[in-house]
Structure 1
Amino acid sequence: MLNLEELSLQLSAIIAERSYIDGNQLYEQALKYLPRLNKFMFNIHAHIINTSSIEIDLPSNDDIRNSFIKRGFQSVGTCATKPLIDNVGDCHVYSLPYLFDDCLFLSNCFQGGQFNKVRMLMMRDRYPFEEKLF
């Protein structure tokens, strides 16, 4: 994969007792091994489950967005649950413009008008949705 120039990544991960995936973690564990990558579109969903009594320090939407911006991704959207609700949380981070056909686990913190190509939508109602979403 050293010669890979373009990558479209859709990733959904269940993570036990750790934090959300951010730009630094993605770079250190994957992207730094792709030196010729010049186009990267992504939609990453992390579902956090905390079964321990130790509180997980979760980054804010701005912290997650800034970690991607520092790695050279200027147009990034984020939607993260903070704090955990019943020891469970979700975080989406995605490149803009959003070019994927589906959006899974949409919650009420997504900004409207960014998902023009989405044909399949799955929503989760932990917080009530606002009418203006539709």
Structure 2
Amino acid sequence: MLNLEELSLQLSAIRDEGFYIDGNQLYEQVRKYLPRLNKFMFNIHTHIVDTGIKIDLPSNEDIRNSFIKRGFQSVGTCATKTPINNKGDCHVYSLPYLFDDFLFLSNCFQGGQFNKVRMLMMRDRYSFEEKLFLKIFLFFKN
């Protein structure tokens, strides 16, 4: 894989450890082993299950910074946590978004360029607000 120049990675992970897949992990476990990679598209969703132990999950800003520090400039992030039962979700993706589906959209959706999306799955852990539907209309239209 040393000669790989283009990679599309779509990943959904369920973890019982207290950390999301972030920019540091993506760099250390994938990107640094692909020296000729010049186009890297990714769509990664991490779900943290309740372990019964109080965990301190990183914020949306912490996740975004982990990607920027590793050279991933155009990245969308959406990290949420449920303090009552130690669950969390984190969705990170490269922009512009070039995949056909967008799974696990939630209220912290920031927007971006989504011209190719044909299937959208939303998660209603928290009630959706009118602002979210306006964002969806603006960013997912052709």
Partner of 2:106: 107
Kept in 1: contact 2:51–2:86 (CA 8 A)? yes
Partner of 1:40: 40
Rate the CA distance shift 1:33–1:84 in 2: closer, same or farther, 3 A: farther
Kept in 2: contact 1:45–1:92 (CA 8 A)? yes
Q: Please, which runs of 5 or more residues in structure 2 have no aligned partner?
A: 134-142
* TM-score, length-scaled by structure 2: 0.86
Kept in 1: contact 2:81–2:88 (CA 8 A)? yes
Partner of 2:22: 22
The Cα offsets for residues 104-134 of structure 1, whole Å up to 9 and x where unpaired, read as: 1111110245323211011110111111222
The Cα offsets for residues 10-58 of structure 1, whole Å up to 9 and x where unpaired, read as: 1000011221111101111121111111111111000111323x22221
Distance 2:112 2:75 in 1: 14
* TM-score, length-scaled by structure 1: 0.91
Q: SS of the counterpart of 2:18?
A: coil
Q: How far did 1:72 drift?
A: 1.0
- Kindly provide the amino acid, as one letter, of the partner of residue 27 in structure 2: Y
Q: SS of the counterpart of 1:40?
A: strand
**Structure richer in helix, relative to its length:** 2
Distance 2:8 2:36 in 1: 14
Kept in 2: contact 1:58–1:83 (CA 8 A)? no
Distance 2:64 2:111 in 1: 18
Rate the CA distance shift 1:66–1:129 in 2: closer, same or farther, 3 A: same
Distance 1:46 1:90 in 2: 6
Distance 1:96 1:68 in 2: 12
Partner of 1:55: 54
Kept in 1: contact 2:45–2:89 (CA 8 A)? yes
Identity %: 86
Distance 1:114 1:8 in 2: 17
Rate the CA distance shift 1:84–1:4 in 2: closer, same or farther, 3 A: farther
